[in-house]
Amino acid sequence: MADEVTNAIDFNDIKQSVEESLGRAPEGWSYLVTTLFTEIKEHCDQKDATYPFILQIKEKLGELRIYHRCDDRHIQSMITATIARANRTFERCSNAAETQLLDGWYTTLCCWCANDVASKRHPERKRLWGGQKKRVRDRMACGVANITARLTERMTVICAPRA
C-alpha cells in the first residue's frame, strides 16, 4: 500500500510550511520561498484557481529544489525564477554565493561564510581578511558568519559571483 502524498505547503500558513522544509533562515532561502508562495497564493486567489500541489522543497547538491505538480505556466515561471535566484544566493544569509565542493559535499556559500567555514576547518591558517567579529548589518557584511570584509580590488574579484 502506497503512502498518501501530502502537500508540502499549507497555503494558510506558508511561513511555517517553508521553515519545516528548509529550516528557519529569515534572510535566506526561507524568505525567498515564503515570498514565492505568498505571490502564488495571491495569483491563484485572483484567478480563482486551485493552489499548486507542492511535493517537496529541499536543498540538493547545493541547490534549491522545488518539486511540484502544476500546469499553470505563470506559476511554473515564478518557481523557476525563484530557484534561479536562490541558487545564486547563500541559503542562510542571502548574500551572493556560488556552489562549491567542500570535503565531498556540494554547498552554496557566500564568500564570508566560505571563509568562516575554512577558518573553522583549518584553524592553523591565518585569516587574511574579515577578522572583525562584531555584529554589523550592511551590504558588505554577513550576519551568519558575523564577518565584515574590507574589500580590496583583489577580494572583490574573489567574492563576486560568476556572471
Q: CB neighbours (10 Å) of residue 148? A: 19
For the whole model, what pTM was predicted? 0.72
Grid cell at residue 119: 577558518
Grid cell at residue 64: 534549491
Q: Where are the domains of the chain?
A: 14-86, 98-159
Who has greater pLDDT, 132 or 61? 61
Give the tens place of pLDDT for each residue, 33-74. 999 999 999 999 999 999 999 999 999 998 999 999 999 999
Q: Is the pLDDT of residue 17 over 90?
A: yes
